[in-house]
A = this chain, B = another copy of it.
Amino acid sequence: MFSRPTHYVDPMTEEPSTRDRLVQAATRLFRQRGYDGTGLTEILTEAGVPKGSLYHHFPEGKADLACAAADWTASEIIRVIDDSFRAAPDWRHGITTFCYKMAKLFDILESADACPIFGLLFEGPDHDRFRTQAEQSFDRIIAAAARHGQALGMTAEAAHDAAETFIIGFQGSWTLARTRRKSDVLRNLPNRLYGAKS
């Protein structure tokens, strides 16, 4: 029997692993202050982890950590998408539920953070690595949404298109919502995309 990989939360203990605490602290801070705006010490303090551990789990340091954070975020987003579509009778309902869920998150974050989805696209020295990472994460997210579209009767192509259009609109809406500090911009997105009246 091979040992359980330590970078997942042990379901038996309450404590997330050191690695996970790093990833989650990093996710939060990168979203708030951006890649270059966040110092390693800040992340380490928030995670309650010494520097040595960071470079053990992420040999390439900050960039490595950022990619892990992006990956983790994408998975979280997909989870919310799946949740939103679970009981949705049609595409618009699923999208609307997702927007409302995210608007709630937006309010919790006090309108301060970057869009969780597109915050994946960090600037930074290693631009191309981040770009590639972001591209993959987006495609995962879009594919997840498209799957639900297909399950609701769309053709593969139509579903992919609808998912893409939605993610585009969502990203723009989040940013505008942030500058205005109004989560209703997010709740209004379905009306913008699919016509007034819900």
Contact = CB atoms under 8 A, between A and B. Distances in A.
A32 B167 CA distance: 23
A11 to B, nearest CB: 34
A33 interface: yes
A127 interface: yes
B165 A192 contact: yes
Contacts of A171: 171-172, 175-176
A179 B135 contact: yes
Contacts of A121: 175, 178-179
B178 A131 contact: yes
A186 B114 CA distance: 22
A92 B178 CA distance: 27
A64 interface: no
Contacts of A91: none
A168 interface: yes
A184 interface: no
Interface string A33-64: 11111000000000000000000000000000
Nearest to A171: B172
A53 to B, nearest CB: 25
A98 interface: no
B127 A176 contact: no
A37 B175 CA distance: 20
Interface string A139-181: 0000000000000000000000000110111111101101111
18 contacts: A32-B123, A33-B123, A35-B37, A36-B36, A36-B37, A37-B123, A37-B125, A121-B179, A131-B181, A138-B179, A165-B192, A167-B172, A168-B169, A168-B172, A168-B175, A168-B189, A169-B172, A172-B172
